[in-house]
């Protein structure tokens, strides 16, 4: 099975926090892959690095054949992204927003129209087509962001906590949509701390803790690794693995933090 996403020894530090410490991942084509971990494990940071919102300090990330550092724009044609806290241009209506999303992703006008109609219908947003985004509910905004991420029919859909704020009927439709995508050879990569969601939806998961890999594989292999037994749920496996990791991983230190950058007026004029 070929790989669509690969992270090798990825490090990322913020000013006071070492968010990722040598993260490794491999996501295959045509699978739903889940990234699970407790709060502050580095899930969102990892996702933001993959989609180009953050720069990596060290390590290699490949999306299909592209190294994202070397080709920072080309690989984005292959990905669609839905962040956890969705913020959308509130001054546009839903239709305008989807047109905007399609246009900046280089989709042809015919395809924009076709896909917009399809996703508005599928995600039950048709009646809100000309409603200002400002007036949509949180769940509707989440669905709108999802439709936006799918406008260019990406090979790899990356989602941070995809089902939060969406009603059960909407969740059901989204799961169906994911399965259809997998059947057509596309990949879904999601991060979540809702373990029942991960258990029901994902083919494989990676458990991360304090920016490091803890375990990797399908539920069966994780059950074996954690020695929790065949009937153990992902939640039980997760708790066992993260407890063990807690004992192994030392407390976060300032080691590896980037040098504090200079502030002030001189930096203002410095060439980037």
Per CB under 8 A, residues contacting other proteins are 14-15, 51-55, 73-77, 79-81, 83, 87-93, 96, 99-101, 103-106, 109, 112-113, 132, 134, 148, 268, 271-272
Nearer to other proteins, 211 or 215 (CB): 211
In the complex, least distance from residue 134 CB atom to other proteins, rounded to whole angstroms: 5
Residue 73 CB, nearest approach to other proteins (Å): 5
Residue 191, both tokens: 């991060």
Shortest Å distance, C-beta 72 to other proteins = 8
Closest distance of CB 104 from other proteins, Å: 5
Residue 155 host element (H or E): none
Q: Give the three-class secondary structure for 93.
A: strand
CB of 97 to other proteins, least distance (A): 8
Backbone phi, psi, residue 33, to 5°:
-110, 130
- For other proteins, give the closer residue by CB, 88 or 215: 88
Give the orientation angle of helix 109-122 with respect to helix 138-150, to 10 degrees: 140
Pick 164 or 225: Cβ nearer other proteins: 164
Residue 148, Cβ neighbours under 10 Å: how many?
A: 24
- Least distance between other proteins and beta carbon 158 (Å): 8
Q: What DSSP element (H or E) covers 138?
A: helix 138-150
* 66 vs 237: CA distance, rounded Å: 34
Nearer to other proteins, 247 or 261 (CB): 261
- The smaller minimum CB distance to other proteins, of residues 97 and 178, is found at 97
Minimum CB–partner distance for residue 271 and other proteins (Å): 8
Nearest to 213 by CA among 37, 52, 48: 37
Q: What are phi and psi of 262, to 5 degrees?
A: -75, 140
The three-state DSSP-derived secondary structure of 16-32 is CCEEEEEEEEEEECCCE
Q: Which is nearer to other proteins, 92 or 252 (CB)?
A: 92
**Beta carbons within 10 angstroms of residue 268's beta carbon:** 7
Name the E strands within the chain.
Answer: 3-13, 18-28, 32-36, 58-63, 66-67, 79-82, 156-160, 187-192, 204-209, 212-217
- Smallest distance from the beta carbon of 258 to other proteins, in angstroms? 11
* Per-residue DSSP letter, 75: G
Name which of 129 and 244 has its Cβ closer to other proteins: 129
Nearer to other proteins, 227 or 268 (CB): 268
């Amino acid at each position: 099975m070929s790989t669509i996403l690969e992270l090798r020894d990825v490090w990322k530090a913020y000013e006071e926090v070492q968010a990722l410490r040598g993260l490794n991942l491999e996501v295959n084509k045509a699978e739903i892959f889940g990234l699970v971990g407790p709060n502050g494990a580095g899930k969102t940071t990892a996702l933001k690095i993959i989609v180009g919102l953050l720069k990596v300090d060290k390590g290699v990330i490949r999306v299909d054949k592209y190294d994202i550092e070397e080709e920072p724009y080309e690989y984005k044609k292959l990905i669609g992204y839905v962040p956890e806290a969705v913020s959308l241009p509130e001054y546009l209506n839903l239709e305008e927003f989807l047109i905007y999303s399609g246009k900046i992703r280089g989709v042809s006008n015919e395809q924009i129209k076709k896909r917009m109609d399809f996703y508005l219908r599928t995600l039950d947003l048709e009646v809100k087509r000309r409603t200002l985004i400002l007036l949509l509910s949180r769940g509707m905004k989440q669905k709108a962001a999802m439709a936006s991420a799918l406008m260019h029919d990406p090979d790899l859909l990356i989602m941070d906590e995809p089902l939060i704020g969406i009603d059960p009927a909407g969740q059901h439709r989204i799961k169906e949509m994911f399965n259809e995508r997998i059947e057509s050879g596309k990949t879904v990569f999601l991060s979540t701390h809702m373990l029942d969601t991960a258990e029901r939806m994902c083919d494989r998961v990676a458990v991360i803790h304090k920016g490091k890999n803890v375990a990797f594989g399908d539920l069966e292999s994780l059950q074996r690794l954690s020695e929790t037994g065949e009937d153990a749920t992902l939640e039980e496996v997760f708790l066992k693995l993260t407890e063990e990791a807690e004992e192994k991983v030392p407390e976060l230190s300032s080691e590896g933090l980037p040098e504090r950058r200079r502030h002030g007026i001189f930096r203002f004029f410095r060439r980037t």
